[in-house]
């Protein structure tokens, strides 16, 4: 019985893949159906995930186990319900209260997180002494990092017009940014192609058994 | 008045997170850890709101027979099937309302929720993203036309990085002598990734970080109010 369901699963996967790939010909009903199934399943998956991993352990299990001792969790529960009321236009304004707590907390967390990880850590890591490096390649590389980071930042400085000294620096900065975008693009292309190869292996291997 | 209380809550919540970072003692520590749980709970409800909004939109499309309304039935059907099997028989790590779904596990090997996830969702997702390989190729054709210095740099670095990570790229420059080893494509690709790319990424990270810090301060101080409709 399990063998049948395994084969059935492979067929479902293969037909789903072919339905999505049919878009390469043109937009068609098979693609649209597959796309809508993806949307529906995806939405339900995240809802079930949220219920089991967030709402039950953090809220419902506490309130069911000991509502008196955990009375404080009625507050986020009520705020959550107020959030859901946003779906009814008449009660939309009630959602501002839970939203304000979410936004305030997110702003506080983001401010600290980005200050530490993106600004301070990255700035500290750029404070290099290239001439203390062990090889010429590393020395050149570290000089590139220092110049590239500073000029890249100058490019993002929009409070002053990019002309003269600032303009020249910004021009150097954009060169580094373009190299960076090119490298990122190359990696993205490779990731997508490796996904495509994975799909082809599934179709020709698991489904059609043409390759091992 | 409708907007003042939310702005005060935002200010206090943001301030608490900041103060707790600099004063990691009671009562701030416990208040912040409690606030983080509240944050998760309310975020969970926000996800529920998102799904309800999706359902509402699809119901209205069906009700008013908008263009493509028949496909909305597929969305709703797949949504409810996945939701119900998840709630009734649970997931791989959680029991559902009707238990562990032993009948299904004995016959199909896994729970129905995991069966749909493994055999439909994962394949649809992989196929959808693999589809981008074709479109990214046409995007690359447009982006890689070397008209300016900037687009040439983009072209060259992308090609070196792509080739440098494949066996073809490695064999293309395998004839180079040891003294020119740094021009060997995998080494060149590594150099680009380790230095110019890192410099560019670092500039973006620091710039974006400063931007986020500024935006967060504006939100905490109530200067940025677009999330409540931008009312004064």
For residue B71, the Cα-to-chain-centroid distance in whole angstroms is 26
Domain boundaries of chain A, sorted by first residue: 128-212
Contact A36 B72 (CB under 8 A): yes
CB neighbour class for B154 (10 Å; exposed up to 12, middle 13-18, buried from 19): buried
Q: What is the DSSP letter of A208?
A: T
Smallest CA–CA distance, residue B175 to chain A, in Å, is 21
Closest CA to A55 of A44, A47, A43, A45: A47
- Same domain (yes/no): B86, B52: no
Which token pair is B117? 């996830």
Report phi then psi at A11, rounded to 5: -60, -45
Cα–Cα dist A200/A195, whole Å: 9
Residue B142 within a domain: no
Last residue of a domain, one of B14, B32, B66: B66
Tell which A residues from 51 to 90 touch B, by Cβ distance under 8 Å: 51-52, 54-56, 58-59, 72-73, 75-77, 79-81, 83-84, 86-87
- Residue B115: closest C-alpha in chain A: A9
Tell me if chain B has a CB within 8 Å of the CB of A44: yes
C-alpha distance from B125 to closest chain A C-alpha (Å): 7
Count CA within 13 A, CB hemisphere, residue B173. 19
Q: Which residue of A has its CA nearest to B151?
A: A178
Residue of A nearest to B143 (CA): A182
Question: Which residues are bridge partners to B91 per DSSP?
Answer: B94
Is residue B45 within 8 A of residue A80, CB to CB? The reply is: yes
Low-confidence residues in chain A, pLDDT < 70:
none
A84 vs B45: CB contact, 8 Å cut-off? yes
Exposure b/e, A31-53, CB count within 10 A at least 16 = b: bbbbbbbbbbbbbbbebbebbbe
Structure confidence at residue B71 (pLDDT): 97
- A119 contacts in chain B (CB < 8 Å): 206, 209-210, 213
Of A84, A110, A155, the CB nearest to B216: A110
A28 touches chain B (CB under 8 A): no
Q: Considering only CB atoms, which chain A residues are within 8 Å of B159?
A: 186
* B61 falls within a domain: yes
Do A41 and B124 lie within an 8 Å CB cutoff? yes
Q: What is the DSSP string of A80-118?
A: HHHHHGGGSGGGGGGGHHHHHHHHHHHHHHHHHHIIIII
Query: Who's near A118: CB < 8 A, 6+ residues apart?
Result: B205, B206, B208, B209, B212
B10–A104 C-beta distance less than 8 A: yes
Match 């499309």 to its residue by tokens: B61
Number of residues assigned to chain A: 212
What is the value of ipTM here, to two decimals? Answer: 0.87
Supply the DSSP symbol for A132: G
Q: Classify residue B208: in a domain, yes or no.
A: no
- The per-residue DSSP string of B127-172 comes to HHHHHHHHHHHHHHHHHT---SHHHHHHHHHHHHHHHHTSHHHHHH
Look-up of token digits 């680009």: B192
pLDDT tens, N- to C-terminus, chain B (232 residues): 578 999 999 999 999 999 999 988 888 889 989 999 999 999 999 999 999 999 999 999 999 999 999 999 999 999 999 999 999 999 999 999 999 888 999 989 999 999 999 999 999 999 999 998 888 877 777 766 767 888 888 889 999 999 998 899 889 998 989 888 888 999 999 999 999 999 999 999 999 999 999 999 999 999 998 888 765 5
User: How many residues are present in chain B?
Assistant: 232
User: Are B1 and B62 part of one and the same domain?
Assistant: yes
Residue among A41, A144, A194 with most chain B CBs within 10 A, to mutate: A41
Please tell me the distance from the alpha carbon of residue B47 to that of residue A84, in angstroms, as a whole number: 9
Q: How far is the CA of B152 from the CAs of A58, A119, A190, B69, B144, in angstroms?
A: 53, 30, 20, 46, 7
Chain B closest-CA separation from residue A188 CA (Å): 9
Provide, as residue numbers in chain A, all residues whose Cβ is less than 8 Å from the Cβ of B46: 83, 98, 102
B162: tokens are 């792509």
Q: Which of A:154-193 have CB within 8 Å of B?
A: 155-156, 173-190, 192-193
Neighbours of B26 (CB within 10 A): 8
The verdict on residue B156 lying in a domain is no
Residue B230: predicted pLDDT: 67
Whole-angstrom distance, CA of residue B4 vs CA of residue B14 = 15
Instruction: Give CA–CA dist A106/A100, Å, rounded.
Output: 10
Judge if B56 and B98 occupy the same domain. Answer: no
Among the partner-chain residues A47, A59, A175, the one whose CB lies closest to the CB of B41 is A59
Q: Cα(A67)–Cα(A44) distance, rounded to whole angstroms?
A: 29
The whole-angstrom separation of Cα A187 and Cα A160 is: 34
Q: How far apart are alpha carbons A172 and B200 in whole angstroms?
A: 11
d(CA A111, CA A105): 10
Selected residue of B23, B88, B133, B179 to mutate for chain A interface (largest A Cβ count, 10 A): B133
Residues of B in contact with A76 (CB under 8 A): 37-38, 41-42
> Where does a domain end: B33, B48, B66?
B66
Same domain, B59 and B16: yes
Can you give the residue range of the structural domain that contains B97?
Answer: 67-132
Indicate yes or no: CB of A20 within 8 angstroms of CB of B44: no
**How many domains does chain B divide into?**
2
DSSP state of B96: B
Give B3: exposed, middle or buried? Use CB within 10 Å, 0-12, 13-18, 19+.
middle
Residue at B111 is within a domain: yes
């Amino acid at each position: 019985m399990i063998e049948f369901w395994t084969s059935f699963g492979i067929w479902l996967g293969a037909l789903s893949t072919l339905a999505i790939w049919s878009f390469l010909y043109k937009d068609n009903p098979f693609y649209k159906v597959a796309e809508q199934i993806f949307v529906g399943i995806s939405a339900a998956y995240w809802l079930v995930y949220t219920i089991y991993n967030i709402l039950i352990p953090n809220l419902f299990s506490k309130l069911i186990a000991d509502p008196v001792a955990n009375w404080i969790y009625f507050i986020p529960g009520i705020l959550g319900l107020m959030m859901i009321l946003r779906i009814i236009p008449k009660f939309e304004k009630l959602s501002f209260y839970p939203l304000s707590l979410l936004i305030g907390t997110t702003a506080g967390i983001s401010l600290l997180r980005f200050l530490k990880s993106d600004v301070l850590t990255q700035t500290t890591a750029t404070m290099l002494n290239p001439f203390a490096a062990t090889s010429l390649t590393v020395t050149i590389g570290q000089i590139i990092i220092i110049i590239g980071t500073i000029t890249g930042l100058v490019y993002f400085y929009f409070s002053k017009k990019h002309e003269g000294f600032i303009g020249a620096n910004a021009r150097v900065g954009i060169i580094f940014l373009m190299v960076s975008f090119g490298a990122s693009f190359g990696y993205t292309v490779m990731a997508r192609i490796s996904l495509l190869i994975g799909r082809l292996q599934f179709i020709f291997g698991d489904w059609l058994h043409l390759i091992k | 008045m409708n907007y003042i209380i939310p702005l005060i809550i935002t200010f206090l919540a943001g301030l608490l997170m900041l103060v707790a970072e600099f004063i990691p003692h009671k009562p701030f520590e416990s208040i912040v850890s409690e606030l983080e749980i509240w944050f998760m709970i309310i975020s969970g409800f926000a996800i529920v709101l998102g799904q309800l909004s999706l359902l509402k939109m699809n119901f209205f499309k069906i009700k008013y027979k908008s263009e493509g309304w028949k496909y909305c039935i597929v969305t709703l059907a797949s949504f409810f099937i996945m939701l119900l099997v998840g709630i009734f028989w649970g997931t791989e790590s959680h029991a559902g309302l009707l238990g562990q779904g032993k009948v299904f596990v004995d016959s199909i090997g896994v729970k129905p929720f995991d069966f749909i996830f493994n055999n439909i969702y994962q394949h649809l997702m992989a196929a959808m993203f693999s589809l981008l390989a074709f479109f990214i190729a046409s995007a690359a054709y447009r982006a890689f036309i070397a008209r300016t210095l900037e687009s040439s740099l983009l072209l060259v670095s992308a090609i070196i990085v792509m080739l440098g990570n494949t066996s073809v790229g490695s064999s293309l420059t395998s004839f180079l002598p040891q003294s020119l080893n740094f021009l060997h494509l995998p080494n060149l690709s590594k150099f680009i990734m380790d230095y110019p790319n890192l410099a560019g990424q670092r500039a973006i990270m620091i710039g974006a970080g400063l931007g986020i810090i500024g935006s967060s301060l504006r939100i905490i101080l109530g200067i940025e109010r677009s999330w409540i409709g931008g009312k004064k």
